[in-house]
């Protein structure tokens, strides 16, 4: 209310500053205010206007801005900022004659066809994608009159396509009665959908728009993907159609944010002057969102420049066309390869249900598909190792010189000898057996020999993220004796259906630590994969005390598979530890003997050893 008073008052005061000749009727501002009061689509913003008008009416000051254009601009700025609506405009147009809504002329059929062909563009693109561009949304009665022709020339050609690009980048006019029938061609006959509620201010009534149960011709239905192209020129009724189909989740909108117009804009003459005020007289409220696209426009799902929208839409539809094969391919791979058979079957089944229920219908790019598939696999399986992955080929083996190896090993391993001759060994990744074997002598010299002669050892795996499991037997063997062969684990390989036994090795490079000296292994929630397998074996064999946090609960290293002939790759754990006597560590992690926070684990381990060895002295 204060704002409205301010509008009227400030304009009146403004007029006092200029002392010119009387160019405008004194009632101009009051007349504009009255028009707004009776016609502006959001009457709640008009509270107080009536009092303002009454107050202003007693003021007989003459507006003294000398030229009408300036006056129109001043009034426009005042009205826009006061009501905070950029759609309001005051113009001075002595030549203006109101446009009469064009009647559909009784054209002979050939001419009607020509008119339709020039206002509707139609194409069938590669991949059986329909392309339909409509620049004006016809009123329902007009569309009905020429319905048979529309069907024959346009719609029946679009119907057999497998996807549709609906180009509304140039649609800036239309009739409100056209909204329900356009939307209805892309929805089901039942149940009827409440599309829009339009409040009309002059009549002070609200009209609900509903989808239609009967239509001429067939519906496009709800299964085939639709992309709507938009630009900043997509305006009014077209925006309503876009917003509605977007929020019904029936179409993906690609392009620019739309104009933010109105369902109904009227141009009203101010009394008998040459001034006109352009006013939105009706307001759309979408029943799904409870909000409107007016003023702020429709924000596309994928925002690109209008000129790039078509190419983007084609890309989106191409990836959507591949989605079913990729999801089914992924499900099949999991059924065939995943380490845990029963769990794999269940994941594959649920994945297919997600596909069938449309969970992948809104994917807009390969990257989005991969992200969603990965997230679904993780949540369905609970296995962090089962996911999409890039297929970056492994780096070719480097030709390291012995000096380079030594440097590499120095940064990969940390060793120390603490008081009471307690050794400390930290490494953050397991290596492949063949690679490690080749440089075993260097590791022994530069790492192992620094800690092998200690009285007890702390192995720090708190930051160890895993790696290949091929070197685990070898590494474990250093902590057992040469004369007794010990079965460490049985690894079941799903794709081949074989089980491999992991035994300690009889021969090793360098000296063994043996079974007699105490070991503590430090763990954290980040300890994963091969590191967990090592912790699990050492705990199960009673060879080490575990101090720290439960380990990650990941899985044996995954293998990478291409999904069908797509460019999507899946990482699938194919091997699992012996679970004949109950679950191993996969998915659940290894529980430490002494649970402490990862940061406190080293201190705890040292204290345990110091108490033991210090007490002996």
Residues that bind ligand NAG (CB under 6 A): 43, 204
Q: Minimal distance in Å, beta carbon 47 to ligand NAG?
A: 10
- Give CA–CA dist 538/546, Å, rounded: 9
Q: How far is the CB of 176 from ligand NAG (least distance, A)?
A: 20
Q: How many other CB atoms are there within 10 angstroms of residue 440's CB atom? A: 17
- H helices of 338-447, in order, are 341-356, 366-381, 402-412, 433-438, 440-443
Residue whose C-alpha is closest to residue 151's, from 222, 218, 241 = 218
The DSSP code sequence of 283-308 is EEE-TTTS---TTT-PPPSEE--GGG
- 3-state class of 329 per DSSP? helix
CB of 52 to ligand NAG, least distance (A): 16
Min separation Cβ 268 and ligand NAG, Å: 17
Q: C-alpha distances in angstroms, 419 versus 323, 599, 609, 611?
A: 61, 20, 10, 12
Q: How do beta strands 456-460 and 422-427 pair? A: parallel
Nearest approach in angstroms of CB 79 to ligand NAG is: 19
Cα four-point dihedral sign 118, 120, 124, 127: positive
Tokens standing for residue 336: 């065939």
Nearest distance in Å: CB 205, ligand NAG: 8
Q: Which helix (H) or strand (E) holds 121?
A: strand 120-125
CB of 209 to ligand NAG, least distance (A): 19
Tokens 């000398």, residue located: 66
Distances (CA, A) of 22 to 17, 33, 60, 66, 274: 13, 20, 12, 8, 15
Q: Give the nearer residue to ligand NAG in terms of CB position, either 43 or 510.
A: 43
Nearer to ligand NAG, 103 or 204 (CB): 204
Shortest gap between Cβ of 36 and ligand NAG (angstroms)?
Answer: 12
Residues 6+ away with beta carbon under 8 Å from 383: 340, 343, 377, 554, 555, 573, 586, 587
Give me the count of residues in the chain: 617
Give the residue among 141, 142, 138, 137 at the shortest CA–CA distance from 172: 137
**CB-based closest residue to ligand NAG:** 204
Q: Which two tokens stand for residue 424?
A: 């400390």
- Structure token digits, residue 168: 């509304």
Q: Provide the minimum distance between the beta carbon of 206 and ligand NAG in the complex, in angstroms, as a whole number.
A: 9
Residue 280 beta carbon to ligand NAG: minimum distance, rounded to whole angstroms: 15
State which residue, 43 or 595, has the beta carbon closest to ligand NAG. 43
Nearer Cβ to ligand NAG (203/379)? 203
């Amino acid at each position: 209310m204060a704002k409205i008073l301010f509008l009227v008052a400030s304009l009146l005061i403004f007029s006092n500053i200029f002392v010119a000749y009387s160019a405008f009727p004194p009632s101009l501002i009051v007349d504009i205010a009255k028009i707004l009061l009776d016609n502006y689509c959001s009457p709640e913003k008009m509270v107080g206007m009536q009092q303002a008008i009454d107050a202003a009416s007693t003021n007989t000051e003459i507006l003294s801005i000398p030229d009408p254009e300036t006056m129109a601009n001043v009034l426009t700025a005042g009205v826009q900022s006061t009501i905070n609506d950029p759609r309001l405009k005051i113009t001075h147009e002595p030549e203006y004659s109101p446009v009469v809504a064009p009647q559909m002329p009784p054209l002979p059929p050939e001419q009607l066809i020509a008119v339709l062909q020039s206002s509707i563009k139609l194409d069938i693109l590669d991949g059986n994608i329909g392309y339909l561009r409509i620049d004006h949304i016809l009123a329902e009665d007009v569309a009905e009159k020429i319905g048979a022709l529309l069907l024959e020339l346009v719609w029946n050609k679009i119907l057999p396509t497998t996807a549709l690009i609906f180009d509304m980048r140039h649609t800036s006019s239309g009739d409100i009665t056209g909204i329900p029938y356009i939307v209805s061609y892309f929805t089901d006959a039942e149940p009827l959908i409440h599309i829009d509620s339009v409040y009309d201010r002059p009549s002070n009534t609200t009209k609900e728009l509903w989808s239609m149960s009967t239509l001429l011709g067939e519906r496009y239905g709800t299964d085939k993907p639709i992309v709507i192209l938009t630009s900043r020129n997509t305006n009014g009724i077209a925006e309503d159609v876009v917003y509605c189909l977007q929020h019904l989740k029936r179409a993906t909108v690609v392009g620019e944010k739309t104009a933010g117009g109105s369902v109904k804009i009227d141009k009203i003459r101010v009394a008998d002057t040459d001034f006109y005020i352009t006013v939105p007289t009706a307001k759309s409220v979408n029943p799904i969102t409870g909000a409107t696209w007016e003023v702020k426009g429709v924000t596309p799902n994928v925002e690109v420049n209008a000129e790039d929208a078509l190419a983007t839409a084609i890309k989106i539809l191409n990836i959507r066309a591949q989605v079913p094969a990729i999801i089914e391919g992924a499900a099949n791979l999991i059924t065939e390869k995943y380490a845990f058979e029963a769990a794999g079957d269940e994941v594959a089944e649920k994945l297919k249900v997600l596909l069938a229920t449309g969970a992948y219908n809104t994917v807009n790019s390969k990257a989005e598909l991969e992200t969603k598939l990965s997230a679904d696999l993780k949540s369905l399986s609970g296995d962090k190792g089962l996911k999409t992955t890039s297929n970056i080929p492994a780096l070719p083996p480097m030709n390291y010189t012995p000096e380079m190896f030594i440097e590499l090993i120095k940064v990969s391993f940390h060793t120390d000898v603490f008081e009471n001759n307690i050794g400390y060994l930290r490494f953050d990744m397991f290596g492949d057996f063949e690679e490690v074997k080749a440089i075993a002598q260097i590791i022994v010299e530069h790492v192992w020999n620094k800690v092998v002669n200690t009285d007890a050892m702390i192995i720090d795996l708190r930051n160890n993220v895993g790696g290949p499991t091929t070197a685990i037997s070898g590494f474990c063997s250093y902590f057992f004796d040469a004369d007794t062969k010990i079965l460490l684990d049985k690894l079941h390989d799903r794709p081949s259906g074989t089980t491999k036994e992991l035994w300690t090795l009889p021969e090793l490079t360098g000296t063994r630590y043996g079974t007699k000296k105490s070991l503590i292994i430090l763990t954290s929630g980040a300890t994963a994969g091969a590191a967990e397998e090592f912790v699990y074996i050492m705990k199960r064999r009673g060879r080490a005390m575990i101090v720290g946090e439960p380990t990650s609960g990941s899985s044996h290293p995954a293998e990478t598979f291409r999904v069908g002939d797509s460019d999507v790759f899946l990482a699938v754990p194919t091997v699992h530890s012996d679970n004949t006597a109950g679950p191993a560590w996969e998915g659940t992690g290894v529980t430490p003997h002494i649970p402490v926070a990862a940061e406190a684990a080293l201190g705890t381990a040292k204290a345990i050893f110091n108490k033991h060895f210090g007490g002996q002295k």
